[in-house]
Chains A and B, each alone.
Chain A
Amino acid sequence: MERPLRLVTANPLDQLARTLEALLVVASAPLPVEELVAATEDDRERVELALGLLGERYHEGRSGIVLESVAGGWAFRASRDAAEACGRLFERPVQRGLSQASLETVAIVAYLGPCTRPEIARIRGVAADSAVAGLVERGLITEAGREDGAHGGAVKYKTTPMFERVFGLESLSQLPRLDDLPGDVDDLRERLHAVAEQRSA
């Protein structure tokens, strides 16, 4: 069947893009593509194309609102140019005052999670109770079941989408590989042996 000729050709994705724009403005957390597909009742491919269109429109330097792919979904945020003004009006309780202990704890949960408080304490060498409680309160980590045990083992923790969003990660796979981080056993072993030799000399 032939389509009728139109004098002004609108981009066929425009209407879909407008709908996606509306959904993203209402959402308070990143929306995965699957949810956008379900809400628009459209094809995944078309939704992705429309997201591409929106990405061009809501781009850093072009708009005060920026579309980003973060924490496994799509979300709007303020442009970096507006950060100063935003900072004068809005608080960021999740990020504020994250201590070294909290950062080490959240790093352990991000890399080794789901993991328990005793496992975190074993790596850090200090009790993890207060750091874990603080991170749960901030919404950066959350409970993820229990260890197997006769009377219900220790609670396990994992990071939340909020963690990925706060640190600007699309997913945990964006974290540097653990093997790439310096923590060379050989180097430490040599230093331990050197200390031992010095002591026995």
Chain B
Amino acid sequence: MIVRELDLDLDAFEGPFDLLLTLVLKEEVDLADVDVAGIVVRFLERLAERDALDLDACGEFLVLVAALLELKARGLFEDEAAELSELEPEEAAEELARRLAEYRRMKEAAGWLAERLSSERDRFFRVGPAPFAPQPERRLAQQDPESLANVVRLLAAEPPAVSLAHMELRFPPVAQFLERFRALLARRSVFDFDSELEGLSRAEQAIAFLALLDLRRSDEIRISQAAPFAPIRVSKVGQESAAVNERTNAWNVRSA
């Protein structure tokens, strides 16, 4: 018998055993959902169909199932693994017996419930959501029919057109920033673009950047940035070399 070809029909998986192992190793099937006892039962059934005991198959199966069980136990009870590994064999057997007994009782209880369900199958009753509690009654004072007519008249009137003004994005013209930067460069040969934008909205910052690109296109400025996301320095054309010389000198002085 080839263990890997063992056909399985479990809640979480249907197919050959080796496919299950592959899926478990690839983490496409959660071992926590796999009923390992079901696999063992299926193997025993197949084993019982044969007269001779296939020791090789049994050995291979034991190794595979033991590995599966260990993986599953670690997955299910991560916290307990350390705690249980400290137990003496006697204590571990005791703990195992206690847990098996607990599960056996619950299995029996489930059996009792199944019998109960079967004996109660001819009980039909109404099922529905809980009825609403009564709302406190609101008593209205005597009303004037004319005021009702007035309200209805209000409802019948054409509603005012809904204004979408608040949804418009307002952009300042690019020219405004062009003027601002030119004025700035008239006073200072170099300025820091980022600090000029402080307090502006995102839309305004975008327009300011367009103005910057426009100035660069018309060759009025040079733009430099030490590293990605570093402050952008803007310098007036013609002033740039002077600024560079100034920086180089300063660097030479500092490093000397």
Contact = CB atoms under 8 A, between A and B. Distances in A.
Interface in B104-132: 104-114, 116-117, 119-131
Contact of B32 (A87, A107, A110, A127): A127
Nearest to B94: A189
Contacts of A185: 97-98, 101
A29 B116 CA distance: 20
A82 B123 CA distance: 9
Contacts, number: 135
Contact of A106 (B113, B128, B129): B113
Interface string A70-107: 00000111101011101100101011001111011011
Given A28-B131, A86-B124, A167-B113, A124 B32 contact: no
A100 B123 contact: no
If over half of B's interface residues share one DSSP class (helix, strand or loop), that class is named, otherwise mixed; here it is helix
Interface string B75-119: 011000000000000000110111111111111111111101101
Given A103-B113, A166-B117, A167-B116, A123 B103 contact: yes
A77 B123 CA distance: 7
B34 interface: yes
Q: Which 6 A-B pairs have the closest CB atoms?
A: A28-B128, A83-B122, A183-B105, A127-B32, A107-B109, A77-B125
B35 interface: yes
Contact of B124 (A28, A77, A101): A77
Contact of A124 (B11, B106, B116, B127): B106
Interface centre among B103, B109, B119, B130 (most CB of A within 10 A): B109
B107 A95 contact: no
